[in-house]
Chain A
Amino acid sequence: MIVDGLVNAAGGFTPPTVEDMHLPNFFEIGSFGFGKQMLLVLLSVVIVAGFFMLAGRKRAMVPGKGQFVAEMGYGFVRNSLGKQLIGAHHFKPFVPLLFTSFFFILVNNLYGSIPFFQLPTLSHAGSAYVLAAIAWLTWVGVGIKRKGLGGFFKDLTMPSGVPPVLYIILIPIEFLSNLLIRPVTHALRLFATMFGGHMAMMVAAALMSHLAVTVGGLGGWLGSLAPLALGIFLFFLELMIQCIQAYIFALLLAVYLQGSVSEGH
């Protein structure tokens, strides 16, 4: 309402749109257009791989600063995500996937808070979908391989300790919720938080520049302080959300994998 009022008073504030998050491509070959988002995705591979390879290359008994940070990050994924959630017997083969998921998403999210990058790459839905798809294929594949097709679906859709009559309702619900809704929420949670956060930041920034530049004058300058404060608040909120979402994605993946390797429940 306030924004509307301001916009009307100023006469024509244009809020940012989705197009502002999909900048023009750098180059295009047929239908293939290579843009900022793709560059950042590929850059994240170099950043994650480069950091850990460099930090660990000395293999020092007494680690330096870089190696210490890298070891802490690795130990965090390995132990609190892998070992504790999946279980000490089964977690080893999944550490690479958990590790890659967490740090890949973390770096891609943090782009949103780094000047000049300023684009959380997973605010583009396709990237979030494909990560959730890889996660889904993995935990479903592992479950079928471990328990057989029948065993996997039985564990998935028929929780034990329930009167058999209820299975009439439970089986379709569990099937739907675990097998279909799970991957969708897995992807959308990541995408939506990044998209929404980025959009909110852009609105704050656009409003600030509109008030300060287009409206101008003392009133405009003073008025722009409010969206500035909002923007700063959003920046730190986003920073937190960017880390938390990376953690949640990896955490859920670990939980799904745990369901696939554990015997019944």
Chain B
Amino acid sequence: MSLLMAAEEGANPLVPNIWEIVITAIGFLILLFIVAKYVIPMFEKIYQDRKEAIEGGLAKAEKAQAEAAAAREEYNQQLESARLEAQRIREEARNEGEAILAEFKERANVEAQRITDNAQKTIEAERAAAIVSLRSEVGSLATTLAGKIVGESLNDDERSARVVDRFLADLEAEKQNAGATR
């Protein structure tokens, strides 16, 4: 009360009004509470978020760059392996071609051999047939001729056949002897 009186008298501005002290203290403390509880956490969070956003952005950019480098590396590797693959395929194709060529050559050779053999066999058979037919032909011709010369009928077939056989056997023996001596 006396303080109020003093203030009202205006005697001394240094004398405080007790209620002004109370109100100011309450106001200040309320503000301090609001600031500590809401304002500062809010602004700290804004700073933190921004810091993270910037750092996150940088990290993201770095990651993207690394990914791009990895992709390029992979691409190069794929290119290289594709080149190797192509080379391998070319090589294979050439080898295969050579193999096919060789096979065909082989087959042709075999075929040619077979044809040659067949021809030889045919010739052999023809010759054997010719020999057989020649033998009977020559035999009958010779006997006919001999019969005419000798005048004696050599119509007896059995006998003439015997004569011819003997003759031919002699002929062969002679030929064999000649081959052995030669």
List A residues at the B interface (Cβ < 8 Å): 17-19, 21-22, 31-34, 37-38, 41-42, 44-45, 48-49, 52-53, 56-57, 59-61, 63, 67, 70-71, 74, 78, 95-97, 99-100, 104, 121, 123-127, 129-131, 134, 191, 195
Contacts and interface: CB of A to CB of B under 8 A. Distances in A.
By size class, the interface of chain B is 35 or more
A33 B36 contact: no
B153 to A, nearest CB: 144
Interface centre among B1, B36, B53 (most CB of A within 10 A): B36
A246 B155 CA distance: 169
A121 B27 CA distance: 12
B2 to A, nearest CB: 10
A37 B53 CA distance: 45
Contact of A33 (B4, B31, B45): B4
A49 B39 CA distance: 8
A43 B182 CA distance: 152
B178 interface: no
B50 interface: yes
A69 B28 CA distance: 22
A53 B39 contact: yes
Interface of A is mostly: helix
A202 to B, nearest CB: 13
Interface of B is mostly: helix
Given A95-B40, A96-B35, A125-B16, A22 B10 contact: yes
B60 to A, nearest CB: 15
A125 B15 contact: yes
Contacts of B30: 45
Contact of A96 (B10, B24, B40, B45): B40
Contacts of A33: 4, 19
B154 interface: no
Given A70-B43, A96-B40, A97-B32, A126 B24 contact: yes
B144 interface: no
A126 B17 contact: yes
8 contacts: A17-B10, A45-B30, A56-B39, A100-B32, A129-B16, A130-B28, A131-B28, A195-B13
Given A99-B39, A104-B27, 11 more contacts: A19-B10, A31-B1, A41-B20, A44-B31, A52-B42, A61-B50, A100-B36, A123-B13, A126-B17, A131-B28, A134-B25
B28 A100 contact: yes
A100 B27 CA distance: 11
A95 B75 CA distance: 55
B46 A127 contact: no
Given A22-B8, A125-B16, A131-B24, A96 B36 contact: yes
Contacts of A74: 39-40, 43
A124 B20 CA distance: 8
